Structure formats: structure tokens, C-alpha cells
Amino acid sequence: MDGIKFLQGTKNRINGENPLERIKTRIAELFKKRKELNLMNEIKFLQGTKNRINGENPLEQIKTRIAELFKKRKELNLMNEIKFLQGTKNLINGENPLEQIKTRIAEFFNMKNINFLFGSGTSCDAIPNMKDLFDVVKNEIDHQKEDEIKEEFNSIVEKLKPEDNLEDVLGVLYSHKAYLEGINTKNDTFNICNGLIDKIENIVFEKLNVDFSKQNVDFSKQKVLAVLKTYKNFYQKVAFRNKDLSRINVFTTNNDLFNETALDSLNVHYINGFSGGINRFFNPALFNYTFAKRMDTSIEKFEPVENMIYLFKLHGSINWIEDDENNNKFFTTKEIYPPSKEDNNILIYPTPNKQNKSLGSPYVELFREFQKKLLEPHNVLFIIGYSFSDEHVNNVIYQALAVNSTINIVIINDIGDKDIIKSNDNRIFKIWSEIKQDNSEKIEQIHHFNYIVENLLPHTFKQKDNIIEQFIDFYKGNLSK
């Protein structure tokens, strides 16, 4: 037995007793391994006619490739869901649908007249939407002491379908109040109705009047500052437009102050219809004015400034009040800051009778400007965050489509089955979908305001590298100390 040799290379593999048994065991192991290797060599994994197996662990290579293909397929499915319609025709052809959308939007930015219509969707991350606002109102009313107001609110809600529609609740209350005033009955029923209206309006006003300061930043404040940053990025892209083209018009149904705060922080000039120093009153004639700078001090020659915006708040603002005691006898709508809830606030609250309220001053002038701008030749209206729920706004858009053959409407929103989505008019473009960002599991809506600003709007007019904002931040952080 001592003469038995079993070498691997020059190393003797015999150790201990039973050398023959060790040789037999090792031979069996080698035969088994050989059999497994032969089976592995039979595994086929071809791409076309090319074998994709390289090295060891072919099964692991196949599993890895299948996982990659499933991931890619999921991403492609999301890309295939991107909607970019002209009328009812899908404009997506081939790969890179987002690039196709960006190219088309950039072409629209070359048009002479550019308009934007903002709805509540542009501020919704910082301000509750209508359903969330209803929940806030219901929660606060359920926890208050006045049983009569609580009972009145719940009795109205129980009779409405759907029950969580704050607009319908306010519509019933305003109608009831108008009826009681019409028959000159100001009794306990009137007081309860009026008290409930005041309660709801105060809650809505409080939610619209967000705090933009950077002090005591909590989760809610972070959302506000994030939305404000999106507004600032938007105006950095559109405000610095070639002076040979018309200034940008921004129409909004929102009552908040995101637009004004963003414009002020960027030192961008804007005309919103108010003039004056200490007392600022509405004067619609201002929408015919512009800011200009003298080109030569020796001659009366001017050119328009590049950084200027026209802002139209179609439903009013939380800092507008009616001032009948002012020295300006003709115009009575006054702009105040900071905003405060007063009996003479004139913003349009979310109610079904918004169209009736919009017939009074200053709204009739604002809607006249909206209509006039949409009738200008060779213009485009980008609609962002607006759901086509306000008939008086929709009518202006429909009238422009009926009269102006050179207008283009670009709806960047998922508006469900609203009438305009069914139109095959080639002047109407619709964009919406969700996508997965590169190297991320996060699903994003391409029709959300922040995605539009960061990814779809062209950089043509964006102030280079944000140099002014960067210097201001540097100054505040260093030189001013």
C-alpha cells in the first residue's frame, strides 16, 4: 500500500488510510464533474447566430440577461404609453418620444405670441386640491363647538353626490344666502348659513396664503419651497425672451402668490394690472403698456426690456380687496400686502357660480384681455395644470378656436374624457403620460408642472447659468455679513 502513487501535479494526494478508496472517490468526482461540464456545454443561448455564453455559470448569465430584458421591456412599455396627439392623431413615431415632444415645443416657442394658462395643478403640491380641501374643511368643522354650523354642513353634504365636492357645498350655501337676502329674511337660519360660508372661506384662504419664508422649515414648508423653485425655474426660462418678439402672457385661475413671489425674487418686471406706490389700484389700461429702456440719452429712442411678463389672475388673488373709500373714484380694486382675510376680499372662491362672479369688475376686464390675446394672429396657448372644469374659461378658448385659424392650443395635462380631448382639430395638441426616470424606480408624470419646466420647456431664453440668482445668493451668504 505504501507503494501506491496518486499525484496531482507533483503533489501526493494520498493521506491517511485506504488509499485505493480515496482514488476511487476522486475518480467518481471527476466523472461527475465531467458529466456536468458536458451538460453545461450543451446550453444554448444565442442572439441571432452568436453564442452569448462566455466563461462559467451560463445559467447565471441567462438569468441576468432575462432580468435586463424584462426591465427594458417595462421601460419601453412606459415609453409606449406617452401620449402626444395632434387632434386625434398620434405624433409619436420611432424612438425617443420625449425628444420629439421637446422639439415640437421648441418650435412653438419661435411663434410671435406665446400664452400660458395655469390651473390649480401648478401649485397642487403646496396647496390642497379640491378633494383634500374638502377633507380639511370637514375635519375643522367637525371639531368646532357651534353645533348649528356643524349640522348645517353635514346636512348639505349628505344630500350631494359626490359628497366630497366643496364647490357644490359652497354653491348651495351661496344660493341659500342669496334667497334669504332676496326675501329680506335675516334670521337665525341666515346667520347659520352666513357663518358657515365665513368658516369655509377662512379655511380656504388660510390654505391659499402659504408662508414663503425659509424659517422653521418643516415637511409642509419644504413642499412650498419646492413649488416656488419650479415657478422660478419657469420664469427663468421664459422671461428673458428676444426683445423683437412679444412678451409672454401668463393667465392663471389660481389665487395664490407663487407667481408674484417667484418674479420678485428674480427681479423680473411684470404687469398685473395694478399701479401706484403706497396704494396700488387696478387699471386694465396697464396691460397695453410695457417696460422700455432708453437706447440713447441724447434722443427719444427706446427698446422694450427683455425680462418682463404680463400676469393675468382670472379668479383674483388673496391680496385683492374692494376699497370704496379710496381717492381713486373710478377703480376700486386694491392690491395689499401682506394678504389678510377681510370682508371685502374679492377673490373668486371655488363655486359652481364662478361664471356669474367673473362678469363683475375686475374680472370682466381680465377675461376681455384673455379673449383679446387669444385672437392675436400666430399665437400658441400652453395649458398646464388646468382640468377644463370652468365653463367660462373654456368658452374663451373655444371662441378663439372658432375665430382664429392661426392659434395653436397645447394641453399638457391628463384631462380624462373632457370634450376637447375628443377633438380632431389639428390646432389642438395633447401631451400626457407617465415615465420611469433613468437609473431610478421612480415613476413621473410628464404632464406635471415640475417635469414640464425641467425637461420639456426649451432653454433658449433661460438666463445663462442663473448668474444673477447665484450672485445674490453669494452676496447674502458672504459679502453682506
Residue 119: CATH number of its domain: 3.40.50.1220
Q: Are 120 and 129 in contact (CB under 8 A)?
A: yes
Asked if residue 403 and residue 276 are part of one domain, the reply reads: yes
User: What pLDDT score does 446 carry?
Assistant: 92
Q: Is residue 373 part of a domain?
A: yes
Asked if residue 328 and residue 380 are part of one domain, the reply reads: yes
Give the cell for residue 480: 453682506
Q: Is residue 190 part of a domain?
A: yes
DSSP code of residue 95: S
Asked if residue 465 and residue 326 are part of one domain, the reply reads: yes
User: What are the pLDDT digits (tens) for 246-278?
Assistant: 899 999 999 999 999 999 999 999 999 999 888
Asked if residue 247 and residue 184 are part of one domain, the reply reads: no
Q: Are 321 and 253 in contact (CB under 8 A)?
A: no
Spatial distance between the Cα atoms of 333 and 280, rounded to a whole number of angstroms: 9
Q: How many domains does the chain have?
A: 4
Asked if residue 311 and residue 175 are part of one domain, the reply reads: no
Q: Is residue 411 part of a domain?
A: yes
Phi, psi of 275 (to 5 degrees): -140, 160
Which of 208, 225, 249 terminates a domain? The answer is: 208
Q: Which of 153, 241, 250, 260 is nearest to 197 (CA)?
A: 153
User: What pLDDT score does 181 carry?
Assistant: 86
Spatial distance between the Cα atoms of 108 and 92, rounded to a whole number of angstroms: 17
Q: Is residue 1 part of a domain?
A: no
Helix (H, G, I), strand (E, B) or coil at 5: coil
Q: Where are the alpha helices (DSSP H) in 303-374?
A: 354-357, 363-374
Asked if residue 285 and residue 172 are part of one domain, the reply reads: no
The dihedral sign for the CA sequence 167, 169, 172, 175: negative
Asked if residue 253 and residue 140 are part of one domain, the reply reads: no
Asked if residue 92 and residue 66 are part of one domain, the reply reads: no
Asked if residue 66 and residue 34 are part of one domain, the reply reads: no
Q: Is residue 144 part of a domain?
A: yes
DSSP code of residue 452: I
Phi, psi of 405 (to 5 degrees): -75, -10
**Under 8 Å CB-to-CB from 114, ≥6 apart: which residues?**
108, 238, 241, 246, 248, 249, 379, 380, 382
Q: Is residue 2 part of a domain?
A: no
Asked if residue 290 and residue 155 are part of one domain, the reply reads: no
Pick out the chain residues at pLDDT < 50: 75-78, 462, 465
Beta bridge partners of 51: 46
What are all long-range contacts of 207-210, with beta carbons under 8 Å and residues at least 24 apart?
207/127, 207/128, 207/133, 207/136, 208/127, 208/255, 208/256, 208/318, 209/256, 209/257, 209/318, 209/339, 210/126, 210/127, 210/256, 210/257
Asked if residue 387 and residue 337 are part of one domain, the reply reads: yes
**Which residues span the domain enclosing 314?**
81-125+215-479
Asked if residue 195 and residue 320 are part of one domain, the reply reads: no
User: What pLDDT score does 257 carry?
Assistant: 96
User: What pLDDT score does 462 carry?
Assistant: 47
Q: Are 263 and 311 in contact (CB under 8 A)?
A: yes
Q: Is residue 264 part of a domain?
A: yes
Spatial distance between the Cα atoms of 105 and 103, rounded to a whole number of angstroms: 6
Which of 169, 186, 208 terminates a domain? The answer is: 208
User: What pLDDT score does 352 carry?
Assistant: 62
